[in-house]
Chains A and B, each alone.
Chain A
Amino acid sequence: MAALRGKTSLTLRQRDTIIGLLLIAPSLVIIFGIVLQPILSTLYLSFFDADLGLGRTNIFLGLGNYLDLLADPVFWETIQRTLYFTLVSVGVELVLGLGIAQLIHAHPPGWRILRASLIIPWAVPTIVNGTMWRWIYNADYGALNGLLLQLGIIDKYIPWLTKPFTAMNLVILADIWHSVPFIALILQAALATLPEELEEAAEVDGATPWQRFWFVRLPLLRAAILVALVIRTVEAFRVFDIIYVITAGGPAFGTVTISYLTYLETFSFGNVGRGSALSFLISIITLLLAFIYIRFLYRPEERME
């Protein structure tokens, strides 16, 4: 720094740029130093017919892998399944989260304990969450079967995870349990900052509770909902760990999501080229989502004047 001060020819702007770059340099070195080469390598491989086998020459395919994927029905089925997972998961989380947020906001007895308890499902590690639910869903000894049987809802144990549709929905349930707190806490925090006067004014004007909610409260929450939605949507779209733990993609591909497909292509089938192309397709989609967020919600304001 001392050396720089001597350079009176630098403008304030230039000095700032130097300082800015220096401050950001450690992060850049770490992030790009570690991840740049792998990302580039993956991109490079995506244009080749590359297998993990050694001593094989990779055949250049240009966009071959990409076109192949886009023409593959398995790819589209997987996208469909991933969209189903994302929409149902995030949708239910949003509705439940909003409900719980409002419940807390109304300050009923025990609301503080409720808010504290919400942290627990969210803080439980993903693999613990996965193994816990897998055990609950166990066909012979699981708590789900036990509970439903004792409540008389079913008359004999059901092997839940052996049917694709039920398996998918149960994995979604496990994900919902884990992620609802995230949305609920964000929305509750947002609710707490809402000015009361607007709603009180509406009440005075004779608006029903539903009208107050829909026309006053919800629009004010729009920003928070949007953020929670985008974050969760990107996460849900890329879901992998919980699938790996609970169903390993089964049964019959029924819970294979797009990230899991990438895993299968790369590790189980050894098609690194295809797997890489797949991951870039996924990245493009998620990048688009993130880009929307940055453009519309992140305001780099409050900088110098």
Chain B
Amino acid sequence: MKTVLRLFAFVIVLSLILAGCQQAEQGPATVRVLAMEQAGPTVDEMNSIVAEFNEENPNVEVVIEYVSYDALHDKITTAMASSPPAYDVFLVDDIWYAEFADAGYIWDVSDKITPEMQENIFDAAWDITVVQGKTYGMPWLLDQKYFYYNEEILNQAGITEPPKTWEEMVEQAKVIKDQGIVEYPIVWSWGQYEAAICDWVTLLYGNGGSLVDDAGNPAFNDAKGVETLTWMLQSIDDGITNPASVSYVEEDVRNVFSQGKAAFATNWVYMYDLVNFNEDESQVTGKIKMSLMPAFEGGGVVSATQDGSMGFSIAAESPAKEVAWDYIEYLTSEDVQNRYSAHLLPIWKTSFQGEQLETLMGYTESNKTTVPMFSEQFPYSYVRPKVTFYPEASKALQLALQEALTKSKSPQQALDDAATKWVSFME
């Protein structure tokens, strides 16, 4: 019997040993980077940046991996659970910054930011990585929602200039609809997803409203908020907004717009190249233009749009923090960004001036339009509130918008209910 017990114990011990193995660190300092596919520069470009850095810094080895956007958040969260974290550097979406900062995942790099960097990088870019006054990373993938219009449709309706205010757009849309050119001239992404929040922010801030007040309390259910939501509903009732917008995300907007079934749309920069130059994907190539995002007449602002950028951050518990910073600094340096800006807009204001601007615009056909458009629009870009409970709060707001737009609740009621939930998350 003793033999049996000993054997058994051996088996158990073996299992536990397997569970407890450690592995020693060897070789040059490794920096593990988690980036995203289909984001900004191509994989090849990213890899060559890494190769360049590795060559110039022989005591460091940067290793980079790519995942899809959907898996990014979960991968980061999981990686943070192990010690040391499985990744030293990772791409962080704007809406996760507050959550990650509060959870202690990301390193506060405020004292690494020189005044020069502060000055020469777009303010709206810093909005991404700054949480409660501290900087937690370098902005990197800048994007915002743009206003697109189909020039041909406008011309057919006798309209020569794109609208500067939402009210003007409504007027133009009605003209287009009355002339039977397009059944639903405007298409939005108001489906119950984050996409709806992006449109909401664009419209709300264009009305002079905001999501939260200075104290961080929900402000979206005030008079301005209700007014904006009512306006959205009205545009559906008037038949100028495509009613299917209530279930759409960005891709659906692109599809509808690409088929010439809408005259106006808002979307991220990715849509431009596809709708205006890609004949496999679009039936309206050559007809699409962008202009400054309109605002409401009583909003008190020239323009307002959603800032949907991402930044690169360093894991707070990473053993290679300093070297990781070197890499990020390199990646986001003006020189590197300028050289690799075929698919990624630089974060430096100076890149959009003079000769640099020319080079930038010369990279691709789309750049001729998107680059100037970017620097024109970016100063009017707003980020979503940096609250740690943003995912849950956003879902509550998405639900509210959906309820109001499908008329199961009044705008006031829906927004008030979301505000109540928001407040409950604040505890």
Contacts and interface: CB of A to CB of B under 8 A. Distances in A.
Interface of A: 14, 17-18, 21-22, 25, 28-29, 32-34, 36-37, 51-56, 139-141, 157, 159, 161-162, 250-252, 267-270
A33 B18 CA distance: 7
Identify the interface centre among A21, A56, A140, A270: most chain B CB within 10 Å of its CB: A270
A54 B77 CA distance: 11
Identify the interface centre among B19, B81, B255, B402: most chain A CB within 10 Å of its CB: B19
B14 A52 contact: no
A141 to B, nearest CB: 8
A157 B242 CA distance: 13
B186 to A, nearest CB: 16
A93 B78 CA distance: 36
A18 B5 CA distance: 9
A55 B392 contact: no
Given A159-B247, A162-B192, A53 B105 contact: yes
Contacts of A53: 80, 102-105
Contact of A36 (B15, B77, B78, B102): B15
B317 interface: yes
B22 interface: no
28 contacts: A14-B1, A18-B3, A18-B4, A21-B7, A22-B7, A28-B15, A29-B14, A36-B15, A37-B16, A51-B103, A52-B77, A52-B103, A53-B102, A53-B105, A54-B104, A54-B317, A55-B317, A139-B244, A139-B248, A141-B255, A159-B244, A162-B246, A162-B402, A250-B192, A250-B193, A252-B399, A268-B73, A270-B99
Contacts of A22: 7
B252 A140 contact: yes
Nearest to B15: A33
B192 A251 contact: yes
Contacts of B14: 29, 33
A267 B74 contact: yes
Given A14-B1, A162-B247, 5 more contacts: A54-B80, A55-B316, A159-B247, A269-B391, A269-B392
Contacts of A141: 255
Interface in B152-206: 191-193
A270 B103 contact: yes
A14 B4 contact: yes
A29 B11 contact: yes
A37 B19 contact: yes
A269 B1 CA distance: 50
Contacts of A269: 391-392
A106 to B, nearest CB: 45
Contacts of B26: none
A33 B102 contact: no
Interface in B305-360: 316-317
Nearest to B11: A25
Nearest to B10: A25
A29 B256 CA distance: 57
B255 A140 contact: yes
A268 B99 CA distance: 10
B69 interface: no
B402 to A, nearest CB: 7
B77 A270 contact: yes
B363 interface: no
A22 B83 CA distance: 35
Nearest to B103: A53
B231 interface: no
A36 B11 CA distance: 13
A79 to B, nearest CB: 20
Nearest to A28: B11
A140 B248 CA distance: 9
A28 B16 CA distance: 12
Contacts of A21: 4, 7-8, 11
B81 A52 contact: yes
A34 B18 CA distance: 8
A267 B77 contact: yes
B356 to A, nearest CB: 41
A26 to B, nearest CB: 9
A53 B391 CA distance: 16
Identify the interface centre among A32, A36, A54, A140: most chain B CB within 10 Å of its CB: A54
A28 to B, nearest CB: 6
A54 B16 CA distance: 24
B427 to A, nearest CB: 14
A267 B70 CA distance: 12
A55 B252 contact: no
Interface string B89-108: 00000000001001111000
B247 A56 contact: no
A162 B11 CA distance: 52
Nearest to B403: A252
Contacts of B102: 53
A162 B77 contact: no
